[in-house]
Amino acid sequence: MNITNAKHFLNVKDYSVSQETFELLHDEEFDMLITHPQPSLEKLPSYYESVDYISHTDGNKSMIEKMYQFVKSIALKNKLKLINSESKKGKILDIGAGVGDFLSVAKKDGWEVIGIEPSEKAKTIAKSKGVPFVENLSELENNSFDIITMWHVLEHVPDLDNQIKELKRLIKPTGTLIIAVPNFNSFDAKHYGNFWAAYDVPIHLWHFSKTAIKKLFAKENLNLVKVLPMKFDSFYVSLLSEKYKTGKMNFIKAFFIGIKSNWYGSRKMEYSSHIYLIKTAKN
């Protein structure tokens, strides 16, 4: 993305690892935010070295971890229901597969699965669950997947335009892309401002709106066909945001902000996070 015409939006601190401050720039054409400056590819992995980065572990000790694992168990059932509603059982690719829980569940349900995951630690855990991996998307054949999923991954991808081109190359003409990302136009984002945990700079390089997703994928002749809410995200994100803002978890306050965010989302269709269903445009 070109940041030449992007305007200052907010300064946000990396509360998890470096304590550095980064600028968010607003691209008005796409209604998306860009983290600036973005770390080099060599330095980027160091920003993931946080005990709070739960998606790369099977941690279940702290209260946050226990809540995350509980919500994940419900989310896995919902994700499986979603892919089964979109396609008969076929071949699925999960980019950013983490510790492999989603693909493990899909495999047990009869799907042919493959994953991509840059973290060797997470990949080792996933492989112990029987999840197969390839190292690079370039190893995969054109038009070979019925479903491609990216669960809170697109915001981490350094080369956004190339990633979308690869998604277009890999998905079958009748297939579905399922992309889940945070929404900076949500109530909890507006409420917490620069303490909003889902900004998660600098590992979140991009921050999307519904407009941004629609326009970015349209460039590759891919149509946004449905937007679904991720209602649990408002509670988890609010809890972390309270920690960043006050130094304490503040469970009760976070719970009420989560409820308020979902109420706002139901009225404005702007939830804390969205799932986007995207298909190849018919000529």
- The Cα 67–Cα 62 span in angstroms is 9
Query: Quick one: the chain helix, strand, coil %, rounded to 5?
Result: 40, 25, 35
**Per-residue confidence (pLDDT) for residue 65, from 0 to 100:** 66
Residue 224 falls within a domain, yes or no? yes
Place of tokens 């509360």: 15
Compute the distance between CA of residue 269 and CA of residue 232 in angstroms, rounded to an integer.
15
Q: Please indicate, yes or no, if residue 142 is contained in any of the structural domains.
A: yes
How far is it, in rounded angstroms, from Cα 140 to Cα 270? 35
Best CA proximity match to 232, nearest among 255, 207, 212, 211: 255
- Report the alpha-carbon distance of residue 131 to residue 152 in Å, rounded: 19
Domain count, the chain: 1
Is there a contact between 152 and 71 (Cβ–Cβ < 8 Å)? no
Backbone angles phi, psi at 169, to 5 degrees: -65, -40
**Any domain includes 28:** no
Four-CA torsion 193, 259, 64, 271, nearest 10 degrees = -60
> What CATH code is carried by the domain that includes residue 188?
3.40.50.150
Burial class of 180 by CB neighbour count within 10 A (0 to 12, 13 to 18, 19+): buried
Range of the domain at 157: 60-197+220-280
Which pLDDT score, from 0 to 100, does residue 5 have?
85
- Domain annotation covers residue 12: no
149: part of which helix (H) or strand (E)? strand 145-151
Nearest to 103 by CA among 120, 118, 83: 83
**Is residue 124 assigned to a domain?**
yes
| pLDDT value at residue 282 | 76
pLDDT at residue 70, as a whole number: 72
> Which residue bears the tokens 């579905």?
176
Among candidate residues 21, 31, 24, 75, the one with its CA nearest the CA of residue 213: 31
Question: What does the pLDDT read at residue 200?
Answer: 97
| Alpha helices in the chain, H assignment, sequence order | 63-86, 101-108, 120-127, 160-170, 187-192, 210-218, 233-246, 251-268
Q: Which two tokens mark 274?
A: 């969205």
| Antiparallel, parallel or unpaired: β 91-95 and 112-116 | parallel
> Does residue 101 lie within any of the structural domains?
yes
Determine contact, residues 47/201, Cβ cutoff 8 Å.
no
C-alpha 242/C-alpha 225 separation (Å) is 34
* 34 inside domain: no
pLDDT tens by residue, the chain, 283 residues:
677 889 999 999 999 999 999 999 999 999 999 999 999 999 999 998 876 555 555 655 566 666 666 777 889 999 999 999 999 999 999 999 999 999 999 999 999 999 999 989 899 999 999 999 999 999 999 999 999 999 999 999 999 999 999 999 999 999 999 999 999 999 999 999 999 999 999 999 999 999 999 999 999 999 999 999 999 999 999 999 999 999 998 999 999 999 999 999 999 999 999 999 999 987 6
Does residue 80 belong to any structural domain of this protein?
yes
